[in-house]
Amino acid sequence: MPRMTMIEAIRDAMHVTMTKDPNVVVFGEDVGYFGGVFRCTQGLQQKFGRSRCFDAPINESGIVGAAIGMAAYGLRPCVEIQFADYVYPGYDQIVSEAARLRYRSNGDFTAPLTIRMPTGGGIHGGQTHSQSPEALFTHVSGLKTVVPSNPYDAKGLLIAAIEDDDPVIFLEPKRLYNGPFDGHHDRPVTPWAKHPLGDVPEGHYTVPLGKAVVRRPGKAVTVLAYGTMVHVAEAAAEETGIDAEVIDLRTLLPLDLDTIIASVTRTGRCVVVHEATLTSGFGAELCALVQEHCFYSLEKPIARVAGWDTPYPHAQEWDYFPGPKRIGEALIEAMEG
């Protein structure tokens, strides 16, 4: 199998679906001739032409609104919002139109629409290029929300998302585009070429939406994570020597609750990790579900490690970012008593 970065895997997913289905179209700001700010769409316009991969004006509500209309009439748009931080002008279209279309039309119309967005920090992007807005989408009935952590999953999940008949929010942790990141910013970057999940099959395959995976088996404590935090949690487990089971959720909605319950019931302890701000983050929903379904198995209160309740800072990025030290402290605390 070829080795790919996450950028290459995402690009390949669009290439595969565009080749398979002429109704798949790709557009957004600078995605055509320029190939996207992170080059995820590089070469697609040259391959498929300007009618299937094209640039849009700098207007997120227009991008999303046009895509909803296309989807309602039979196309399968895969649009890019240049940074997740920029999605807010299009949020009303996503929530009020795309998410409701199947319901409000009694199934006469659907919105087979995928909205790709680079998310998260770790690249010195400051407050307007580092946000993690996933909780805003998981709160909305009718949307599916996906956050891959590696190239293999990114390709398979994106193909599944594009082929899905309902709108999918596809959040791409930009800190993982070129290699796994364990939270140690002062160390050299490890390329995906040296990681087993950089092996990406050629051609068509899917990773099912709504299915988590155990990245690191363990018996002492369950760690629930997604995106970049999967790798940081693995590093924290290794550095503390705690036998932690790290679950990569992959899809936040639909959520693989069965895998979570099975793990927490076995370990009796749970730490929830995400990069977004703590208050009302998706971790709160995870804690509530674990409490509801695993109460009699819990040996300690569920712990959360997340970003602070402030705008994402520029000068103090690594004080904000939930690194292996903070996660390690939560793991140690979870094992005490």
Gap between the Cα atoms of 44 and 12, Å rounded? 10
Report which residue type is found at 171. Answer: L
Cβ burial, residue 317 (10 Å; 0-12/13-18/19+): middle
Residues 6+ apart with CB under 8 A from 77: 24, 25, 26, 27, 66, 67, 70, 71, 113, 114
**Contacts of range 237-245, beta carbons closer than 8 Å, 24 or more positions apart:** 237/331, 239/324, 239/328, 240/328, 240/331, 240/332, 242/218, 242/331, 242/332, 242/335, 243/218, 243/219, 244/216, 244/218, 244/220, 244/271, 244/331, 245/214, 245/216, 245/217, 245/218, 245/219, 245/220, 245/221
Gap between the Cα atoms of 307 and 284, Å rounded? 13
Report which residue type is found at 172. Answer: E
Catalytic residue among 129, 139, 185, 231: 129
Give the dihedral of Cα atoms 182, 282, 310, 190; nearest 10 deg.
Answer: 10
Question: Is 231 designated active site?
Answer: no
| Residues classed as catalytic | 129
